[in-house]
Each structure stands twice: as structure tokens, then as C-alpha cells.
């Protein structure tokens, strides 16, 4: 990387371009003072692009994207009523294709309740945990099918595929992250009393990897119980490690209890660095408010912090985080009808 | 059924026997005044029973249970630390075996925030919805396996099996229930943008069945978004219909937002009445407080109301519900350290 970081930018649909614009503003500003030059290359992808070209993610584009140091991602998805686009095609053939092709096995989703942000929970307590969601296996592999489709005899299956290789690397990542945190605690979430085979692979793997981290404690929760604790006692969580589908569910709930997914950042990380990692807000394209400067760019900006961290620009990452934290804390006094770019500007002002 | 109802009672483990005792007290009292005689037959099953006999659910026992009009179920499950019992064996070979063998395709789980009960949500609004969880298919079918188990090359799979037959009957049940409710609205929860084949079967089926119910509106939510709305706007829900696994997750969250699963009742219902239906509190066996008269029997008692309703004793069902509602409403003034049987007695007193 040297003193250049070379970023692929996929703004996508809806509010994607607006929030990415603010994320880029922050990225440029925070690296400007230092020796790091930021190179940005835009890739037009998403539902709009599909409507224009019929392309989801062409091979050449994927190959080009692979050459960058990291990817900054906005959001994709058509308006809910738009029947011109086959349902889920952009999600699967673009977003999930990127995660799978680039081996983003750690889908990292921090959940933090910032001072000044109202939680929908009456007594949220201190919420500060990260979810390490597996990103390349589980029920997301696309191994489903149907026979006698559309008849009364239809059978549709979905196969969750889990490998020792895939589970071990993400579990080890979770323990590593826990070891660096204050509370040093890992919670495995699964449903091993029903999904016996996948569940026991996860359980055995956690027991095994835990041996390497004597300073880290761990426990286990069924996914149904985890949703209860996220409601009644979220401060019990430090690091959650879980599969692709449970991670999808729990991180949306985690976003909700920490004040909304307008603040939730994520990294799709290839820890082996064989391909670029991708950083994206957890929220979607929100077509209903797109183009109106109503979206909160904070999640996208916090995703930049995760990106900087991954690229080794640790000081810059902390600077962005601290600016965001300050900005958020000051919101108590605001009736927040600022525009997307006003919020971005406010964060930039705090970077100085 | 005539004027006798013939109930199989499976109290199970932990707090199961304590809460079932109160449920039976209520059942006897509410039917006593009328012409209905209650016949009760106890079946010893569960973790304790397994430790004594090695039996989960013998064929003869299952056959005997099939002869009853309905089943009242407490809770099963060993203490978490108890390694003598293979993990999940009682859940799968007893509880799930009952649900599957008796074709309990509607797993009905009402979620209601009673006046006087504190929700962990800051602004819960009015919460009053039912989840119609599919009970005989999906990821619960036990169609998983693993190869090279215990090696670094292990692969473990779990297959979700969904049929037009199975989905259609539960979706129709959800629309029927919605048609009888005030708001007449069905929300399908799935993840069809990722679990394409199963998801589209569910979506197509909902579109089809909706034609039969022009007075019922319907919408769709991805399961991750559903956890957000259950946190930020639960009053938007009227009837949720969903698969076995998503239903498991959402109903625990629903229990949490309505004041805890100590109040959440459920019915495992065979709507074709080919086999007896089973009524059980959503909570587990809670070994930590077992035998101490600390458990709240309300969920078990509300499950009796669901049972009476299913058996056509509609007035008796309403009477129980109303007594419970009154009792719960009066809790505001109580520091609730009443015993399990004191709460049962309080509800019985209100039945009169
Ligand atoms: C859009 C969808 C495929 C995606 C997922 O399910 O992973 C989204 O919900 C997320 O969490 O990033
Ligand atoms: C005990 C377990 C098998 C069961 C389930 O997953 O269905 C429980 O969580 C429930 O919701 O009744």
C-alpha cells in the first residue's frame, strides 16, 4: 500500500451515492494531512445499472475490482414496487457475489450505543459489542432448488453448507478480537439442539479454538435466546460469533437497539488479504428517501473507519471514530433535520 | 368429545411440573361449573425420565398419547451443565418428535402486551399480534449430515425442506385467523432474496391464498427487517406467518418485548384434527429456579386457554383469558415475589 491507498467505490442505488459522497469527503480529509494519497475509482453497479445494461457484476469488473486495496460500498436495491428487476438478483449476483468471490469470511458488525443516541430500549445499559458474522458459508451458499415448481407437489430446499475450514477461521478471528477487548468474552450463537450437524461443528470448533486463548472466556446461546438477551440485557455481549444467516438477523436487531441502522457500519473482511475487503453501511438503499439529502451518512463514515483500520491506518481510523462520536454526542441538542452533507461537514469539521 | 375432555399431561423437567400443576388447577376449576368432565393422564417424559430409563419417546407411549383429545405440555430440558444427557436429544426425540408425529403444522404463538406489564421497550405502543409458525417443515426436518466429522476437512449440512402442501395449509390458517381479527393483516416473514427457492414458494403461496381472502391485506418483510420492526414498531404486526426457524426466533423476541416468556403461551395445533394438538408455554425448563415455586405459571395457564379454544370450549377459554388479564393488570401494585401456586390461586380466584 505504501503511501497510496487505492479504493474501489461502489455507490450503488438509492441513498448509496449520497452517503458515499460524505464517506469520501471524510476519507480524503483525514488522510490529507498525512502522507497517504487516496486514489478512488468508481464502479457503476446496482439496480439502476442493471436496468440500463442488464449487467449484475461482469467478470471483467470483478477482476478490475480485485486489484484495489479495498472497496467502499454504498447500498444496492431497487424500489420495493419495481417489478422490472427480478427479485433478489442484485443482492445475490452482485453484493453476495462480491462477498463470496473476494472470500470475505469475516463480516464484522460493531454495535455500540453512543452517548446522546436514544435507544428504543427502556434500559439499554452500556451496549458495546461486535458481531463476527461468517460471510462465505451457511444458508447463504445458494445451494437450494425446487422440483415440480409451481404445482401442488412442489418441494423447495435450501442447504446450509458449513466446513471446518470456514468455521475455524472465523471463530479464530472472533477470539483474536475478543483477546484485544476489555471484557475478552466470546458468545457463540447457533441452534445446535435442532441444527445438530452444523451446530456441533460450530460448538466443537469454539471449544478447540478457545484452548489457544486461555484469557478469553466464552459461552453459548441458542439464536432464539440471543434475541431475548439483545432485548433485555444487551450489555452482556462482548463478541458474538455466528453463522451467516443468524448474523444477518442479529445484526439488524443490534442496529435497532443501538438507535437505528443509520449508524451501523460493517466490514466484509478477507483476513488473509488475498482479495480486497469491502466496507459498507448495514442499511439498504432506502429508495423512499433517495436523492433528498435526508439519509444519515454516519454508518458509511464509520465504515470508512473500519476500512482505514484494516488498511493499517490505525490513527486515522481512531480520528474518524472520535469525530463521529463527538458529533453524535452533540446531537442531543439538535432537531436533526440537517441534510446528509451537513452531517458529513459537521464530522469533517471535528476531524481537524 | 361430548362432555368429557381427555387430556394427556406431560409435565417434563425443571419448572414444568410446577407450572403445569397451576394450569391443571385452572383447567379443573373453569370446567367444573359446566357439564365438562376433565380426564387427566400423566406421562413421564423428559430429561429426568431419560436419565432413569434411557427412553425419549417410546412408540407405545406415542401411540397412547395419540388417543387423547389434547396434550398439556410443561417444559423439557436438562440443566445446562449436565453432560450426562446428549445435547438436544430430548428436544429432538421427544418434543420435536411429538410436533412432527402429531402433524402440528400450526405453531400458534400470540404476543400481547397486557396492561400493567412493563415492556423492555421504551415506547412499546399496543402490542397484540399472533405468530403462525410452521411446525413440521423447514430447517427443523433433521435432514442434515456431516462427512469427515471431527477432521479439518469436515463438511456439515442442514437441509431446509419446504413443500407446497406444507406451506399452503399454514398460510391459509394465517389468513383465516387474520380474517377474524380486527386489523385483518398478514405479514409474511422470510428471506427470499437469499433463500430463493424456499422463499419464493412462500411468497407465491401467500399471493395465491390471499385471493381467497379479499378482506385481508398482506405484506412481506425479510426476517432481519422483522427484528427491527419488533423493536421499533411492534404494533404494526397483526398476524405473522413464517417458517419453523424464523418463527422460533421471532417468537422469543416477541416474548421478550411483551414482558418476558413467562407470559408467552403456545399451541402446537393439528388443524385437521387427525391427532391431538399440544399446548405449552414458550419458556423452557429453567433448571436454575426449578422446585422453588419461583416460576410464573401464567404462560402455562394461557396455554390452557388456547387448548380450551381448540377443543371448542370457547366460553371457558375466554373466561381463563379474562381472569389472567385481570390478574396481570393488578400486578402493577405488587412486588412479585408470590409463589407459583399463589399466582395460580390468584387466577383461580378471578375465575369465579
Ligand atoms: C441484502 C442482503 C443480501 C444482505 C444480507 O442478507 O447479507 C443484507 O441484509 C445485509 O445484512 O448485508
Ligand atoms: C426446545 C426447542 C427445540 C424449541 C424449538 O426450537 O422449537 C423451542 O425453542 C421452542 O421454541 O419451542
Query: How far from A68 is each of A4, A63, A72, A191, B91, CA to CA, in Å?
Result: 11, 10, 11, 38, 49
Ligand closest to the CA atom of residue A135:
1
User: pLDDT at position A334, please?
Assistant: 56
Per-residue pLDDT 10s for chain A (352 aa) are 458 999 999 999 999 999 999 999 999 999 977 789 999 999 999 999 999 999 999 999 999 999 999 999 999 988 877 889 988 899 999 999 999 999 999 999 999 999 889 999 999 999 999 999 999 999 999 999 999 999 999 999 999 999 999 999 999 999 999 999 999 999 999 999 999 999 999 999 999 999 999 999 999 999 999 999 999 999 999 999 999 999 999 999 999 999 988 899 999 999 999 999 999 999 999 999 999 999 999 999 999 999 999 999 999 999 999 999 999 988 865 557 899 999 999 999 999 8
Query: Which residues 224-283 of A are in CB contact (within 8 Å) with B?
Result: 224-225, 227-228, 230-232, 245, 248-253, 255-257, 260-261
Query: Which residues 175-214 of B are in CB contact (within 8 Å) with A?
Result: 191-201, 204
Residues of A in contact with B283 (CB under 8 A): none
Question: Taking CB atoms and an 8 Å limit, are B192 and A88 in contact across chains?
Answer: yes
pLDDT digit string, tens, across residues A209-242: 999 999 999 999 999 999 999 999 999 999 999 9
Q: Which CATH superfamily is domain A1-106+261-352 in?
A: Isopropylmalate Dehydrogenase (3.40.718.10)
Residue B231 has its nearest CB partner, among A159, A223, A253, at A253
Query: Which residues 47-66 of B are in CB contact (within 8 Å) with A?
Result: none
Cα distance between residue A157 and residue B199, in whole Å: 10
B1-114+259-352 folds as: Isopropylmalate Dehydrogenase (3.40.718)
Residue B223 has its nearest CB partner, among A118, A249, A256, at A249
Cell digits of residue B15? 419448572
Backbone phi and psi for residue A316, each to the nearest 5 degrees, phi listed first: -60, -40
Query: Which residues 152-171 of A are in CB contact (within 8 Å) with B?
Result: 152-165, 168
Cα distance between residue A124 and residue A230, in whole Å: 9
A122 touching chain B per CB within 8 A: yes
Contact B279, B306 (CB under 8 A): yes
B284 C-alpha vs ligand 2 centroid, how far in Å? 8
Closest-CA residue of A relative to B220 is: A80
Question: Taking CB atoms and an 8 Å limit, are B194 and A146 in contact across chains?
Answer: no
Query: How far from A52 is each of A8, A47, A56, B35, B193, CA to CA, in Å?
Result: 21, 9, 11, 72, 21
The verdict on domain A119-258 having CATH code 3.40.50.620 is no
Per-residue pLDDT 10s for chain B (352 aa) are 458 999 999 999 999 999 999 999 999 999 977 789 999 999 999 999 999 999 999 999 999 999 999 999 999 988 877 889 988 899 999 999 999 999 999 999 999 999 889 999 999 999 999 999 999 999 999 999 999 999 999 999 999 999 999 999 999 999 999 999 999 999 999 999 999 999 999 999 999 999 999 999 999 999 999 999 999 999 999 999 999 999 999 999 999 999 988 899 999 999 999 999 999 999 999 999 999 999 999 999 999 999 999 999 999 999 999 999 999 988 865 557 899 999 999 999 999 8
Give the pTM.
0.96
Cell digits of residue B157? 449440512
Cα distance between residue B60 and residue B53, in whole Å: 15
Report helix, strand or coil for A258: coil
Cell digits of residue A241? 460469533
Q: Is A226 annotated as a binding residue?
A: no
Q: How far is B79 from chain A (nearest CA, A)?
A: 14
Residue B95 Cβ < 6 Å to ligand 2: yes
> Is B203 noted as a catalytic residue in this protein?
no
Residue B27 Cβ < 6 Å to ligand 2: no
Contact B168, B130 (CB under 8 A): no
Residue B252 has its nearest CB partner, among A162, A199, A228, at A228
B288 touching chain A per CB within 8 A: no
Strand partners, A41: A8
pLDDT digit string, tens, across residues B91-123: 999 999 999 999 999 999 999 999 889 999 999
If we measure between CA atoms, which residue out of B227, B291, B257, B251 comes closest to residue B74? B291
Residues of A in contact with B91 (CB under 8 A): 193-194
Q: For an interface test with A, which of B117, B127, B157 has the most A Cβ atoms less than 10 Å from its Cβ?
A: B157
- Return the DSSP state at A136: S
Contact A4, A36 (CB under 8 A): yes
Select which of A42, A82, A219, A224 is catalytic: A224
Query: How far from A148 is each of A152, A207, A292, CA to CA, in Å?
Result: 8, 43, 45
Cβ-count burial A201-219 (b if 16+ within 10 Å, e if not): bbbbbbeebbeebeebebe
Return the number of CB contacts < 8 Å for A and B.
211
- The preferred substitution site among A14, A16, A244, A248 for testing ligand 1, maximizing ligand atoms within 8 Å of CB, is A248
Residues of A in contact with B146 (CB under 8 A): 197, 200-201
In chain A, beta strands by DSSP E: 4-12, 37-42, 70-75, 106-112, 128-134, 138-147, 155-163, 185-190, 217-222, 239-242, 265-269, 277-281
C-alpha B185, offset from chain centre: 21
A147 touching chain B per CB within 8 A: no
- The preferred substitution site among A45, A46, A91 for testing ligand 1, maximizing ligand atoms within 8 Å of CB, is A91
Q: Is B293 annotated as a binding residue?
A: yes
The number of the ligand 1 atom at minimal distance from the alpha carbon of A96 is 3
Torsion of Cα atoms, B162 then B164 then B169 then B171, to 10°? 80
How is chain B split into domains, by residue range? 1-114+259-352
User: pLDDT at position A267, please?
Assistant: 98
If we measure between CA atoms, which residue out of B181, B184, B185, B187 comes closest to residue B202? B187
Closest-CA residue of B relative to A192 is: B88
Contact B219, B237 (CB under 8 A): no
Amino acid at each position: 500500500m505504501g503511501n497510496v491507498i487505492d479504493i474501489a467505490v461502489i455507490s450503488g442505488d438509492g441513498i448509496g451515492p449520497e452517503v458515499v459522497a460524505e464517506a469520501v469527503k471524510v476519507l480524503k480529509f483525514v488522510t490529507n494531512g498525512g502522507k497517504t494519497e487516496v486514489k478512488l475509482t468508481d464502479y457503476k453497479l446496482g439496480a439502476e445499472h442493471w436496468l440500463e445494461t442488464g449487467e449484475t457484476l461482469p467478470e471483467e469488473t470483478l477482476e478490475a475490482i480485485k486489484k484495489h486495496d479495498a472497496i467502499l460500498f454504498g447500498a444496492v436495491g431497487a424500489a420495493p414496487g419495481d417489478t422490472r428487476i427480478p427479485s433478489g438478483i442484485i443482492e445475490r449476483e452482485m453484493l453476495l457475489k462480491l462477498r463470496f468471490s473476494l472470500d470475505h469470511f469475516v463480516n464484522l458488525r460493531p454495535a455500540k450505543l453512543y452517548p446522546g443516541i436514544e435507544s428504543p430500549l427502556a434500559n439499554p445499559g452500556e451496549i458495546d459489542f461486535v458481531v463476527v458474522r461468517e460471510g462465505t458459508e451457511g444458508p447463504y451458499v445458494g445451494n437450494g432448488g425446487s422440483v415440480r415448481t409451481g404445482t401442488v407437489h412442489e418441494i423447495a430446499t435450501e442447504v446450509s453448507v458449513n466446513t471446518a475450514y470456514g468455521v475455524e477461521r472465523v471463530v479464530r478471528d472472533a477470539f483474536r478480537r475478543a483477546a484485544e477487548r476489555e471484557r475478552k468474552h466470546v458468545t457463540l450463537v447457533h441452534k445446535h439442539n435442532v441444527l445438530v450437524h452444523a451446530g456441533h461443528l460450530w460448538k466443537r470448533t469454539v471449544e478447540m479454538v478457545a484452548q489457544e486463548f486461555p484469557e478469553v472466556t466464552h459461552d453459548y446461546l441458542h439464536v432464539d435466546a440471543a434475541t431475548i438477551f439483545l432485548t433485555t440485557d444487551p450489555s452482556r455481549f462482548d463478541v458474538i460469533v455466528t453463522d451467516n444467516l443468524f448474523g444477518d438477523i442479529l445484526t439488524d436487531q443490534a442496529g435497532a437497539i443501538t438507535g437505528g441502522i443509520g449508524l451501523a457500519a460493517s466490514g466484509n473482511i478477507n483476513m488473509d488479504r488475498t482479495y480486497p475487503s469491502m466496507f459498507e453501511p448495514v442499511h439498504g438503499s432506502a429508495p423512499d428517501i433517495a436523492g433528498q439529502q435526508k439519509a444519515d451518512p454516519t454508518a458509511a463514515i464509520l465504515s470508512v473507519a473500519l476500512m482505514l483500520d484494516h488498511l493499517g491506518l490505525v490513527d486515522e481510523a481512531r480520528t474518524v471514530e472520535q469525530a463521529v462520536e463527538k458529533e453524535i454526542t452533540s446531537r442531543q441538542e439538535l432537531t436533526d433535520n440537517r441534510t446528509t452533507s451537513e452531517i458529513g461537514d459537521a464530522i469533517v469539521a471535528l476531524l481537524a
